[in-house]
Copies of this chain bind each other. A is one copy, B any other.
Amino acid sequence: MIVDIIGRLSEEVKGKSFTFVLVVGTTDVSLIPGITVAGASPELTMFTPAADAEFLMTGRCRSIDVVPITPDGIPTPALISRASLSLVKTNKLVVNAGSRVKPRIPHLDLGGEPGGDIRKWGVREEVGETILENAKSLGENLQDEEFLVVGESIPAGTTTAAATLEALGYRGVDVVSSSSPANPKDLKRRVVSEALKNGPVDSRKLIFKVTDPVILGIVGLVSGYPGKVLLAGGTQMTAVAALLKEWYPDRLKDITIGTTRWIVKDPTARIVDFVKEIGVRLSFADVDFSLSRHEGLRVYERGFVKEGVGAGGSMIMALSRGVSPSDIVNSVDDLYSKLTQI
């Protein structure tokens, strides 16, 4: 039920203790109309990571009244993460890498700041270095776990991930997925191309110009953490893996990307080819939502939302402890019912 595309995660994670870390942030890229559906409107995307974090940790949102939804009313994948993790015992921590709206719950702050519109500038160089350094220190102090599971919430994160990949010489826009079934590739391509145009020659400076605080936070965390890591996310995690390969090549051997079936099967993206290219393992949770009681969850099977807030990795960790796919769907259904009173 954990399907290994490359490598063998299933046996590695079985029964292992783990800490789930959610890294949140925002950039002004998500304000570009049409680029993301991770919020009911471009302005509301600024609240999505804080609300995701609050919901994951406490079961309700504080920064906004209801859970984050797409403009079509489909709820955040934080539902899947919370419901899946509620079936196993785990530590959960929230890390703020740089958000316009900070989560109103205890969280670890990396001393970053929100990213800009990468067509002008993404992460200021000194801020990027601070995020990397603080995240590394945090990773060094999480030594007791057998596995570190790292999720993300950052609207328009696939666009900054694509730009990061392109800055490293990969065809990033081709690789990345989208939270919409209609992946706005032309728009992403234009934004990424404008971001890279006239960028700094220095390769590290160029990364900072086009990336986002969450990617840097996760890279830093993994650089300091001494053990095995599940990067719980979709195509955004390919940018993390590619940066690790560039800056911390020794860490690559301990990395698995763990995601959902919807990301792996996305016809608009190319995650499977890409992980082969850079040499990192990939697994996904084989859970089918078509039997959900709720239309708002069944639409995941039609390519809506797909991933985020470590949804795929959370399902993987539940499956690895012997929870069945139908128990996961039931748990998500129940949480959805509780929220919507349906």
Q: Is the CB of B144 within 8 A of A89?
A: yes
Contacts of A143 in B (CB 8 A): 89-91
Contacts of A145 in B (CB 8 A): 91, 144
Contacts of A107 in B (CB 8 A): 108-109
Q: Decide: A106 near B106, CB < 8 A? Known: A19-B91, A91-B142, A144-B91.
A: no
Distance between Cα atoms of A145 and B106 in the complex (Å): 19
Interface string of A241-262 (1 = CB under 8 A from B): 0000000000000000000000
Interface string of A107-131 (1 = CB under 8 A from B): 1111100000000000000000000
Stretch of A28-36, A41-49, A133-141 contacting B (4+ beta carbons < 8 Å): A133-141
Contacts of A18 in B (CB 8 A): 144
Contacts of A137 in B (CB 8 A): 57-58, 105-106
For chain A residues 248-291, which have a beta carbon within 8 Å of chain B? none
Tell me, rounded to whole Å, the shortest Cβ–Cβ distance linking A154 to chain B: 18
For chain A residues 139-174, which have a beta carbon within 8 Å of chain B? 141-145
Contacts of A141 in B (CB 8 A): 57, 91-93
Distance between Cα atoms of A91 and B17 in the complex (Å): 12
Contacts of A89 in B (CB 8 A): 143-144
Distance between Cα atoms of A137 and B93 in the complex (Å): 11
Cβ of A95 under 8 Å from chain B: yes
Distance between Cα atoms of A143 and B317 in the complex (Å): 15
Tell me, rounded to whole Å, the shortest Cβ–Cβ distance linking A129 to chain B: 14
Contacts of A105 in B (CB 8 A): 134, 137
Distance between Cα atoms of A111 and B89 in the complex (Å): 26
Contacts of A95 in B (CB 8 A): 106
Contacts of A58 in B (CB 8 A): 137
Q: Is the CB of A106 within 8 A of B91?
A: no
Distance between Cα atoms of A58 and B135 in the complex (Å): 12
Distance between Cα atoms of A141 and B143 in the complex (Å): 18
Tell me, rounded to whole Å, the shortest Cβ–Cβ distance linking A320 to chain B: 13
Contacts of A93 in B (CB 8 A): 93, 108, 141
Contacts of A92 in B (CB 8 A): 141
Distance between Cα atoms of A30 and B249 in the complex (Å): 48
Contacts of A90 in B (CB 8 A): 143-144
Please indicate which of the listed interface residues A17, A57, A144 has the most CB atoms of chain B within 10 Å of its own CB. Answer: A144
19 A-B pairs within 8 Å (CB atoms) are namely A18-B144, A19-B144, A57-B137, A89-B143, A90-B144, A91-B142, A91-B143, A91-B144, A92-B141, A93-B93, A95-B106, A104-B111, A105-B137, A106-B108, A106-B110, A106-B111, A106-B135, A106-B138, A107-B109
Rank and list the top 4 A-B pairs by shortest CB-CB distance, nearest first. A106-B108, A92-B141, A91-B144, A89-B143
